[in-house]
Amino acid sequence: MSRLIHPMDETKKTSLWQRLRERYRISVLNEDTLAEKWYLHLSGWGAIVIVGLMFAITLGLFSLVILYTPIRNYLPGYSENIRQQLVEESTRLDSLGTTLEMQRQYLDIIKQVMAGEVHSDTVQSLDSMQIIMREQLLEAKKQATEEFIAQYEEKEKNNMQLFANNTNQGIPITVFFVPIHGAITQQFSVQEKHYGILINSTDNENVASVLNGVVIYVNSEINNVHTMIIKHTDYLSIYRGLKKPLKQIGDRVQAGECIGIAGEGQLGFELWKNDLAVDPEKLIAF
């Protein structure tokens, strides 16, 4: 059974193809004289080809500009490759520097032997030179370690003197750690109802527990300022003004262990024994 095709349907099917094949004349006229200065014969297919070529040429030029100019440094991931190359080149440069130093020492020894200043049996091998260089590096590290230990001992001298005095007097030694290092801005005074001290603190500074104990209280006050109370064997220590507590109720802490982070400002510290406030400066060398 055949189907009749309406002439209008055939026109619709072929109209797009015909329009693409039809040629057009693009002219440039003089506005005053209407004389034709330039013209171009172009079909729909020709326009598509020209636009495609222009797009390909533009894309190629843009790619060349990116690849061969400093703009490529702003591409995602390219800077990571450059950083890795810099690290590799730095390592290689250090290795070359070590090799050159060893060669220089080797040539110096040869010159001394040639000049008769050193006997040939005293010349050290390259392996021995490497060992010497390692020993020099270890010696430098040893000196840095000794300097650090000396500074630490000088810093803790007051605490050691306090413990020694207590031992000489026959008092049982209780080692109190400094909760935080800083200048004391308010001292202990029962008359003025200052049952603790205020210590200057810098932002993000560690706050340490003065003794071994158990955290029995953690509370957040106004402006997200926290208070922590730790129960020790004979004492109760209170830390006011913590920026961020690092312990929770029930946690056991060791003397000197970080229990929280202080903010920029002042840290309140109180020490109690048998329900009586104790002056922290008499027990701790701040």
Mean pLDDT for all residues in the chain: 77
Paired residues of 213 in beta bridges:
253
Which pTM was predicted? 0.43
In sequence order, which residues have a C-beta less than 8 Å from that of residue 199 and are 6 or more positions away?
179, 180, 182, 183, 184, 185, 266, 267, 268, 269, 286
Query: Integer distance in angstroms from the first to the last C-alpha of the chain?
Result: 109
Six token digits for residue 179 = 């909760």
Helix spans in the chain (H): 7-21, 44-67, 78-114, 126-155, 157-168
CATH topology (fold) of 177-282: Glucose Permease (Domain IIA) (2.70.70)
Question: Mind listing the pLDDT tens digit for each residue in 224-273?
Answer: 789 999 999 889 999 999 999 999 999 999 999 999 999 888 999 999 99
Boundaries of every domain in the chain: 11-64, 177-282
Residue 275's pLDDT is 85
